[in-house]
Amino acid sequence: MKYLVDKCKSLHEESQILATLNTKTKNEALKQVAISLQEHKSLILEANEKDILQAKKENMKESLIDRLRLDARRIDDMIDGIYTIIELKDPIWKSNDVWTLENGLTISKMTVPLGVIGIIYESRPNVTIDAFSLALKSGNCILLRGSASSIHSNKALVYAVKEGLKRSSVAEGVIEFIDDPDRTIVKEMLTLNEYIDLIIPRGGKDLIDFVVKNATVPTIETGVGNCHIFIDETAPFTMALEIIENAKVQRPGVCNACETVLIHKAIAEKFLPRLYDCLKDRVDIRGCDETLRTIAVSKAVEEDWQEEYLDYILAVKVVESVHEAINHIRKYGTKHSESIITENITNANLFTRQVDAAAVYVNASTRFTDGSQFGFGGEMGISTQKIHARGPIGLNELVSSKFMVLGNGQIRE
């Protein structure tokens, strides 16, 4: 499709220029984009309202509408994220690994941009700004393909970005947005190895699976979040309840929200009624047989342990030990974010070492698995794979390396 190839060719050409720009130039461009977002706040909110109204017409569930919604505070958060990225160290052309061989050759392993990054994402329009800002600071061009549900919001955001870039020394062409909703474009995007260096899918399981199975361009697999909180027998009840409430209720439509709570059998009889009282008016609790003996909730079925609800629904299971909790997470977890609430250091160490996830918490909410919360200014997504990047994808995950070798006439014998 000429429409897509033309955009990618342009990005590929711009990436060769962007890779050579100094930190001051990139930071000034980011500053101008932040100013432009502030100036165009009303335009962005008006566009977002169109997307919200359409989502309501299509009966999108409220938790997903919340992911789509922008307000003045969320735009301010985007702007704050840009300023955080400005303050971060430039990840390009750095080396912590330099050595000299016996023959006098000095070798440096240097960080370099990836080139052109394509991101395919659903609903959340803040990804538009996060992805652009991280890409620019790390010397990469960005190709954005958002969902139809956020088309108006994303158009307005990209317009504001380009208006900001016009006031800088960085070309508008470092960012391109696919505004054609035709889904065949996604499939073509996944095979443009000549022009795209990396694809990042960010969204639901169907999207991620489709990208991973069909892409010939290298991908970073961001994960769905079937996240667990294990309440150990030594857990302080008040702390545990506050963490569960935060992880489930604050924003249920995001990937780091808690979907399953595992409770040690030794405390289940006392803890479950308090959990029920805390959530009963807001959350549909689905429990195992042991849970149902203590509180009157819906019976959980096998699918409940597998589900990323992204809604006001919580699965609850009583387990015999920390070992059973770990085994349950191994079976049903998606390697995203897992937490243990405990005062037992041995169990905490066991949990953190044996649970296979991008982020493992002790006595904290899973909601912190987020680039901005980790101090990255934003993220491209949460990687649940183990090669190249894992966890929030920030500046340091958007670089590759090259070896620079300095000699004075050496030849190999």
Q: How far apart are CA 29 and CA 51, in angstroms?
A: 28
Cβ contact 131:201 at 8 Å:
no
C-alpha angle 91-14-184 in degrees, rounded to nearest 5:
100
Would you state the pLDDT for residue 6?
94
Would you state the pLDDT for residue 223?
79
Query: Tens of pLDDT along the chain (413 residues)?
Result: 788 999 999 999 999 999 999 999 999 999 999 999 999 999 999 999 999 999 999 999 998 899 999 999 999 999 999 999 999 999 999 998 999 999 999 999 999 999 999 999 988 999 999 999 999 999 999 999 999 999 999 999 999 999 999 999 999 999 999 998 888 899 999 999 999 999 999 988 899 999 999 999 999 988 789 999 999 999 999 999 999 999 999 999 999 999 999 999 999 999 999 999 999 999 999 999 999 999 999 999 999 999 999 999 999 999 999 999 999 999 999 999 999 999 999 999 999 999 999 999 999 999 999 999 999 999 999 999 988 899 999 999 999 999 999 999 999 98
Cβ contact 165:33 at 8 Å:
yes
Q: Give start-end residues of each CATH 3.40.605.10 domain in the chain.
A: 2-222
Q: Is 298 helix (H, G, I), strand (E, B) or coil?
A: strand
Would you state the pLDDT for residue 108?
97
CATH superfamily of this structure's domain 227-368: Aldehyde Dehydrogenase; Chain A, domain 2 (3.40.309.10)
End-to-end CA distance of the chain: 51
Q: How far apart are CA 371 and CA 66, in angstroms?
A: 19
Q: How far apart are CA 45 and CA 71, in angstroms?
A: 7
Q: Give start-end residues of each CATH 3.40.309.10 domain in the chain.
A: 227-368
Would you state the pLDDT for residue 123?
82
Q: What is the pairing mode between strands 227-231 and 337-341?
A: parallel
Q: Which residue has the tokens 């006439």?
A: 409
CATH superfamily of this structure's domain 2-222: Aldehyde Dehydrogenase; Chain A, domain 1 (3.40.605.10)
Residues 6+ apart with CB under 8 A from 387: none
Cβ contact 50:345 at 8 Å:
no
Q: In what order do the strands lie in the sheet with 141-145?
A: 175-177, 141-145, 116-121, 198-202
Concatenated DSSP letters of 359-378: EEEESS-GGG-STTTTTSS-
Q: Is 109 helix (H, G, I), strand (E, B) or coil?
A: strand
CA 290 to chain centre: 35
String of b and e for 229-250 (b: at least 16 CB within 10 Å)?
bbbbbebeeeebbebbbbbbbe
Q: Is 308 helix (H, G, I), strand (E, B) or coil?
A: coil
Would you state the pLDDT for residue 380?
93
Residues 6+ apart with CB under 8 A from 358: 223, 335, 336, 337, 369, 382, 383, 384, 390, 391
Residues 6+ apart with CB under 8 A from 206: none
